[in-house]
A and B are shown apart, each in its own frame.
Chain A
């Protein structure tokens, strides 16, 4: 009998406990540990100005890119400070099927370079508590110039196809510190099969930094700098340095910038930037990125 009373009491206390719950208690009862979440949009696009960012395209996205660089500012008023001519343009199609590996092909007018690259997002930064503080992306590419063959000292300049090729490998480590500020370090290595002079070296090593400051919801200021670590030529070349402005409008991202690099491919702007900010050897440039989503129907719907 006593036992029954005790069990009764227990039951009653249990019922009253349940019925006394406030809505917040209800929520807390079923609360689960927050799931790991990836940080999105460390940078707006896969490029900052010239440099690649840690970003890869999202799943089943096709990016059509137009990059344009005008002539030098210091070409003067007659050349409308570079706007009239000496332009370099790259058209490219880039695609990502999954969520980590993307590839792209492009053609730039400057040195008649066709390029192809693979980019793999190795690590993705997670939100607080997720355990991954940075994003890491790997990059590898090949460039082929279609410049006409010339005879140098009685010999063909481009004897074999391999003479036309150069390569670039990069490791990028980036972090989105908050919704406004992102920073990335890049280690890069460029290899050129055929150099101009016998005293030139084929390899160039670089340390780069790119950063973004978003000052409004759809607008940002960007800066990139590539420090060359070894001496590879007796000719005068400069570190690539650019300052830009990003404007996002729906599926488009416009990037307008000033940079001393004329080249649009890694081998060119990392290694062969031959004008300097010191004497206004800079130019106006813009990138337009239009992303098409090929995903079709909402996969959850």
Chain B
């Protein structure tokens, strides 16, 4: 009987591990810096999903939800550059390389290997970041660069001086156990 109970407890703890985490608070921003103009935009409605057991990580970002300083910039971003009607989402599907003990609080440097799908172009990417375990929440932070040309986003020569060739993306999220 004791044995059965201990197996029972073990199973519970395993099932605890295979819980899925979802980003309740998530902020994705990007920044383009040139001598003429700085452009930044923030998206705070995205919900990334993470399965600690398998290391699977997925994030699907709605392009039209990026908020810019000026409505004009936002309109141009959606209409002329990212072509939101054709490509409404940017998606990253990845798997975390490292295995981490999620039962202890701590900070870990992690890498995600996967594909970034943006503007209809899928690119294999390895993105480094930080994973922080704090009680029942998992915090993820990352900074990475996206080359505009890599994703076939056309910038007319007239505006080339106002839009950086490499865009810096900042990502951070606070993830909690997903409840249906």
Residue positions of A touching B, CB distance < 8 A: 1, 4, 7-8, 11-12, 14-15, 18-19, 21-24, 26-27, 29-30, 32, 35, 37, 40-41, 58-59, 61, 179, 217-218, 249-251, 291, 293, 295-301
Contact = CB atoms under 8 A, between A and B. Distances in A.
Interface stretch (B45-53, B101-109, B128-136, B139-147): B45-53
Nearest to B15: A15
A30 B42 contact: no
Given A14-B15, A26-B20, A301-B42, A61 B71 contact: yes
B19 interface: yes
Contacts of A19: 18, 51, 53-54
Contacts of A11: 8, 11-12, 15
A297 B7 CA distance: 57
B29 to A, nearest CB: 7
30 contacts: A1-B4, A4-B4, A7-B8, A8-B7, A18-B18, A18-B51, A19-B18, A19-B51, A19-B54, A21-B51, A21-B54, A22-B56, A27-B49, A29-B49, A29-B180, A30-B22, A30-B178, A32-B47, A58-B71, A61-B70, A61-B72, A217-B79, A218-B80, A250-B72, A293-B72, A295-B69, A296-B69, A297-B69, A298-B40, A301-B42
A291 B56 contact: no
Interface of B: 1, 4, 7-8, 11-12, 14-15, 18-20, 22, 29, 40-42, 44-45, 47, 49-51, 53-54, 56-58, 60, 64, 67-72, 75-76, 78-80, 85, 93, 158-159, 162, 178, 180
Given A11-B8, A23-B56, 7 more contacts: A22-B56, A26-B49, A30-B22, A250-B76, A250-B159, A295-B69, A295-B71
A300 B1 CA distance: 57
A251 B79 contact: no
A59 B1 CA distance: 69
A183 to B, nearest CB: 18
Nearest to A178: B85
Taking chain B's interface residues, is the majority helix, strand, or loop, or is none over half, making it mixed?
mixed
A101 to B, nearest CB: 15
Nearest to A7: B8
Contacts of A32: 47
Question: Which of B57, B72, B85 has the most CB atoms of chain A within a 10 A radius of its CB?
Answer: B72
Question: Which of B41, B79, B85, B93 has the most CB atoms of chain A within a 10 A radius of its CB?
Answer: B79
Contacts of B45: 35
Contacts of B56: 21-23, 26
A7 to B, nearest CB: 7
B19 A18 contact: yes
B75 to A, nearest CB: 5
Contact of A179 (B40, B68, B79): B79
B71 A59 contact: yes
A288 B47 CA distance: 42
Contacts of B53: 18-19
Contacts of A21: 20, 51, 54, 56
A191 B5 CA distance: 88
A89 to B, nearest CB: 25
Given A23-B93, A58-B72, A8 B11 contact: yes
B15 A18 contact: yes
Contacts of B54: 19, 21
Contacts of A249: 158
| A-B pairs with lowest CB-CB distance, top 6 | A58-B71, A293-B70, A300-B42, A26-B49, A18-B18, A23-B58
Contacts of A12: 11
Nearest to B4: A4
Given A30-B178, A59-B71, A298-B40, A15 B18 contact: yes
Contact of B80 (A1, A217, A300): A217
A40 B58 contact: no
A295 B70 contact: yes
Nearest to A300: B42
Contacts of A179: 79, 85
A301 B18 contact: no
A210 B42 CA distance: 35
Contact of B64 (A37, A59, A250): A37
Contacts of A37: 64
